[in-house]
Amino acid sequence: MTARVKAPSTVWALGDYHRFAKEMVWGVGPELVAACGIGPGQRVLDVAAGTGNVAIRAAEAGADVVASDLTPESLEAGRREAEERRVELEWVVADAQALPFADAEFDVVTSSFGAMFAPDHQTVADELLRVCRPGGTIGLASFTPDGGVGEFFGVFAPYLPAPPPGAPPPVLWGDERHLRGLLGERAELAVERRWLVERSPGGPRAYCDFYRETFGPAVAAYADPGQAAAVDRDFLAFATRMNRGSAEGPSEYHYEYLLAVARKR
């Protein structure tokens, strides 16, 4: 196995994304559900849903929910989580750039740190708008360009396949001006900057080890024995520099994201 994994679905299937999500980003799901006002009687689509961070919470709020993602392994983990929580929702393998749903099929369309990673931003925005009904809601949580995540992915970029030619950085979804350009006059947009705080009880070393074991792109970067030492050196330097917690005890990492709620006109 090498780090040169080309299919995005294969990269995200590496490691244990559900373990990662529950320990690091699971708290954002309820925030997005609340921001979108999701409740009973609504039909909701969560795009690039991962293992159900938003989708499961929307189902728990009483909505009729479809969770779509490019990675079947993530959907299977989400299905197991939903069964444990005793909620029902539909799980569909789908590309955010070509959603297999009808026009205006959903009252609410969401994506939390998911659709932003598809290479064609405008096509994704068009699809989110297409499947949302007029007057419906599109809710997005996307990391900002200057909030730490850009630097995080910069650690791994030299060790992973290059993105498609011309593909804009995923973190541009967290730039209000870029997002307004994608949506145009088709939606009324409100945004708020928030912080995701990740913690590691074992300090920077444990933080790196956790990502190496669970997070697909990190797993892929470490997988090539010829570059694993260099990846680890660069990642540990990043984790040490960015740590806002204790130098010797628990470490803490702050990543800014844009919480955006758009009403489709």
> Tens digit of pLDDT for each residue in 20-48?
999 999 999 999 999 999 999 999 999 99
Residue 1, pLDDT score: 28
The whole-number pLDDT of residue 8 equals 64
Q: What is the pLDDT of residues 44-99, one digit of tens each?
A: 999 999 999 999 999 999 999 999 999 999 999 999 999 999 999 999 999 999 99
Question: Tens digit of pLDDT for each residue in 181-224?
Answer: 999 999 999 999 999 999 999 999 999 999 999 999 999 999 99
Residue 6: pLDDT band (50, 70, 90) is very low
The string of pLDDT tens digits covering residues 93-133 is 999 999 999 999 999 999 999 999 999 999 999 999 999 99
- Looking at domain 8-145+161-197+256-264, what is its CATH homologous superfamily? Vaccinia Virus protein VP39 (3.40.50.150)
What residues does 260 pair with on adjacent strands? 140, 191
Range 224-233, long-range pairs (CB < 8 A, 24+ positions): 224/2, 224/3, 224/4, 224/159, 227/3, 227/159, 230/159, 231/155, 231/156, 231/159, 232/208
CA atoms within 13 A on the CB side of 63: 27
Q: How confident is the model at residue 3 (pLDDT cuts 50, 70, 90)?
A: very low
- Specify the pLDDT at position 247: 74
What is the pLDDT at residue 7?
A: 57
pLDDT of residue 4 exceeding 50, the answer is no
Of residues 28, 34, 29, the one with CA closest to residue 261 = 34
Two tokens, residue 10: 């294969």
* Res 10: pLDDT: 82
Q: What is the pLDDT averaged over residues 226-231?
A: 98
Q: Which of 69, 78, 185 is nearest to 117 (CA)?
A: 69
Give the mean model confidence (pLDDT) for residues 128-139.
Answer: 98
Domain parsing of the chain, residue ranges: 8-145+161-197+256-264
Percent of the chain with pLDDT over 70: 97
